[in-house]
Structure 1
Amino acid sequence: MSADALLRDWIAPSRRRRFADTLLLALPLLVAIAAISWRLAGLLTTGALLLGGAALALVVARQRAARHDRVWLIRTLDATRPELEDSSALLFSPTPPTSPLQALQRTRVAARLDQGAPQDLAPPWSRRTVIALLLAAMLIVAAALLWPRAGEGPPRLAPSEEGLPATPGLPRLIAQNLRIVPPAYTGLPARDSAKLDARAPLGSRLEWTLRFDPDARMPRLLVVDGQALPLRRDGDNWIAGRTLDRSFLYRVDPAAGGGRTPPLHRLDALPDNPPQVKALGPALTLVKPGQRSWSPAFAATDDYGVAATARLRVTLAIGEGENVTFSEREIPVSGSGPARDRRFAPSLAFSSFGFSAGGDMVAQLIVRDNRSPSAQEVRGPSVILRWPSARAPESSGLEGMVNTTLPAYFRSQRQIIIDAEALLKRKRSLSADRYLARSGAIGADQQILRGRYSQFLGGEEEGEPQLPTADAEGHSEGDGHDHGPPQAKPAFGAPEDVLASFGHPHDDSPASSLDPETRAILKQAVDEMWGSERELKQGRPDLALPFANRALRFIKEVQQATRIFLSKVGPELPPIDPTRRMTGERGGLASRTLDVTPVASSDGPAAAAWRALEGKVTPDLDPLERWVRANADRLPDPLALTGAIDAARREPGCAPCRTRLRGLLWTAMARPTGQPMRRPPADAAGARYLRALHGGAP
């Protein structure tokens, strides 16, 4: 047998024994650490610590086992086997003997080595140490299991902070505790509060534990603007529970209204905000040469965590003008990172979506949070990947004056029809409210498109006022300006005299100039869009489709006109009559005085109470309290205002209470809008000028 094989046979049992003994010593330590971590940090941290501790134990065990090498074996054999005559190094030397004497000694030692076994050299088990560590770990685990976590077990009462003096025969609050158990989906632990004022997530479970001296008979929790909450006895304590469904004020009433009024306490309900989604890149990118996939990146954040999976809505638009084809699909995507700040970066292969040149790919991320029972769903911003067409755009000598008729105004009517037809197919699977909301959204798109087409009619379909022009009193020969020689009207769009035919300033609209036939067709398209929009906003897409289809047909006819010529000159204002200058004649001028419309305000009770509180008479606070309840959504701090009203009602002679209420009312009322400044009076020179205009002496 070679020296290396002999060495492996003799050190293998010792190495295995040392490796197993080290892991056995590490096991109680890992169990104790896991128990402590579970009680303090939760399961996720415990799992991470266990993995790290196990890896560390394996490394230490391998290092301790590696100490049993050739040097250790020779030293151990020479110390424990006298018959080897301190010559065991000859057996495990990697080089053969160099002399006959070494060869003879090696043969003698090899014969004596077989009298023992390799297992005899294995180190003993660390029994006492293992038993001690196991007992310590058991004690630590028991303590971790029995030790009360915050919000668990019987509460520890804190001294009361009511600050009320003791009255003989009347009970008063002497000890208190408020336990807050947040909803499970928040991942927040239960906690105990020594104070009765707190802030907690909406939907938390509130548990009061109170103690009175002397013992109370029928204590209650009086909720301002709400129903009183009775307390029930539990030994020497009184307990009550409630779900935090809104923010409210309350006071502890131990004596059923007897004695001094206890102070108010405040509980604020923190709402669960919807997730926030933002795109981690530009809103519009172009396809690079050789690119075959796209990875839009999004970041989703939430108060208590975003769901691990989301939906990515991918919309393809391929084609030009009204010949654009749309397709939409949703794919599930997985996020990475912590629950409160996830990252989504899916990879979209062009081949799987049929994306090609001349199209747009629009990606939109739809995420949900972990709120239970109903999760909040949010649609993030859209990002666009554009693959430009290889065809070069047309050009002409009229650039800057001539626009093509196929900008964004003329490319969405077909999509509105597609959306309406898709909504009709999904009608059975949608609730009535969601169906109406989706139909209204399509109607809003139709309204935007109708407004864009109306620009080519000068905005007249939107009811925009016309600017004053020289045509106000009619237009005819001899009206004071030159029309030029009469010209024959060529065919519409003829290149030889296109500007002469359609560039007359009296035929201009604020947006564009169209020939009468095209204008009439476009007006019919806008009228049909009116009908489509009306039906869609009433939740009737089936009745809107005929209008939308007719509008699309008219638009296709408008597209036969290849150009729209924009106006280069503005409208002509009425000419100034120089003979009226400096005469003071004001005949024919309309009054420039604007009617002042009073602003409707809903702050009447607040304003009345604010004025009344300036004196010594306490106003009627009931209308003010109803005003606070009705306008709680827009007030900066309705609970503080309710508390101030309650204090002023209970202590009418309290001047600081009245001052505080008046200050809160001032900040709660709506700010008045800015008023136009009055023109300053005329100075001496201006007064002489005005007298001269009216025929007086200068």
Structure 2
Amino acid sequence: MNAVDARLRNARDAARRRAWVDAALVAAPWLLVAATLAWRTHAAPWSLAVVVATLLAGALHAWQRGRGFDDRWLARQLDARRRDMDDSADLLFPHATPDTALQHLQRERLRQRVQNGSAIDLRAPWHIRGLLVGAALAAACIVAIVLYPATQPATRTTPATPEAAATQARPARLVGQRIEIRQPAYTNLPTRSIDTLEAKIPEGSTLHWQLDFTPTPRRVELVFHDGERLALRREGGSWIGSRRIAKPSLYRLQLEHPLPPEQAGPHRLEVVVDQPPQLRALQPRQTLSLLEPGQRSWTLEFEATDDYGLAPNARLQITRTIGGGENITTRKQVVTLRGRGDPTGKRYRHRIDLAALGLVAGDDVIARLSISDRRAPDPQTTQSPSYILRWPPEPIPTATDLDGLVKRVMPAYFRSQRQIIIDAEALLKEKPALAADRYLARSDAIGVDQRLLRLRYGQFLGEETGGTPKVLPTNDAQDLQQVILGEEPAVAAAEPHDDEHGDEHAGDLQRQPTFGEEQAVLEQFGHTHDHAEAATLLDPGTRKLLRAALDEMWQSELNLRQGHPELALPYAHRALAFIKQVQQAERIYLPRIGSQLPPIDPSRRLGGEREGLGDRRDPLAEATTADPVVAEAWRALAPVTTGEAATAPDLDALADWVASHETGDADPLELAVAIDALRRDANCLDCRQRLRQLLWPLLAPPPAGTGERPSAGPVGNAYLDALGREARP
């Protein structure tokens, strides 16, 4: 075989392998579906037949795909994919022998092209979309098969005839069991069946037992751990009974003759308690929100989830408070909301129009959402925290007296350092266009402004303000108003006073004191601003920051007055940084008052009066356990040495105590199982040890002990003895 034939054969073989792989990928998901079906049906004969049929169908499909790759297919593919074949690829194969010299020449030419041309690739492209669709359908079938509830008939043997009754010599034996679980309607869960005597069920489910015995017993009862009994009735060859289970329980089968130990129980019924709805606020994030400027509405959004399903509607209670102080009234309204989402998870959204609600400054809007689940007949309800939208009233600055000032914001003129920086930077930009004297005059004017600001800050550190011109605003109330409105304070600069060493009040601010202004009252009746230690309007940390800012302002002023704003800018920036820290500080003035204790009455000291004192000779009462049942049982279960008789605990009293008391973290069903095991075998050492371990967390902690009173010493003992002799008649 020459190179041309080898190339053609390799191309055909590669295309055949690609077809087989493609067929396998198509059949593999459905083979998994058949295998899952066989597993789910416990390898039933018909399911095995489905598996075999799927294998045969896949093999037949692969064989049919592979047998079509012959010479004629190869010729068609070459003509379709390569133009240099000139639709004459059929001449390359032995079945097409050239009849003419022209055909022979064409054949040689084609073989030469195949030999010298590029590699031949005739493989079909992957059908990705088809493979994905097939795999998705197969996966859906597998999920449906796995999740489909299996209903299996109860395992039965040959039905017992009425003549085959249980006897003492031949006791009955359980040969088949089936429990039908009818789950509550609010869970939306279908009825299901199990073939075991233990189950995990939703709260409030109804169980329907169907039990088969051989030989047939005369009576069958279900005895629960709380003492209740359920007598089963006989229908045909089975014993049937129903009961609604609302709490975790243990039960065992009781016949006229004991069952084998492996079937005697007890059997456990675990109850899944319905959880209340879970509610989470998405908007707002915090419980207290302040009304923003221009806000016209308030949007509330909540998310609720429940394990079985939520009620169709939720209730949003909106309360508006009106007034202030002791004259507050409320208006309430309830809005019904319908959520969006599936039954187990919904979102609720509501927008409150504040204008329609009539909200004014000083009012609050309080919203609270409540949602219930579909539990019947007693649905569980969950309420969200109260979310408050507050429109704060206008702040009213007040003062108590000369010594105590209420907490307030810092004055507005603590922000004017930025304007000095802006003016200095603007002057540097205009320097090329200004004359030297004009440049120096403007720099000196900015330096004067820096000095004025420095002197104003110095008032809060006890510095003198000699030579300070009139400064506006002159009222802290105006400062506070400017802070609220976000305005910059107006500073009117005048020529500075050169005499800073004259009379101590010569440089004070030339203004008339305002009635009720705390700074004016302090200036009129006191003189503490010239002593740094007496300046207590600021706390020590804030005074330290302000002192650093004044130092930087001094250097900035020095360079500005000398006509060097470029050297003054670094100091001005640092001063601004310190001032921003001062802005963030809180100012609280603490009154300098001492503690005023009531005067001491000397006539009552060491008077020897003992009226109202108790008897020191009262004995200590012995501590007793409030409920000694658990403690007595725990002591009775203590291990004994060889040769000693074990003490039998009162299991009936212990069982009654477990049924009527909260056991905390201990599992009451585990306690019931341990008590039942010890009741059936009183000599079981492992059962005694197991029950003792379960009782340990239920023991009450011992009461706190009392220690011996320390001796009072010789003098104290003599005094106490004298008191005792005096008290005796």
- TM-score range with shorter-chain normalisation? 0.3 to 0.5
Structure number with larger C-alpha Rg: 2
| TM-score (norm. length: structure 2) | 0.45
TM-score by length of 1: 0.47
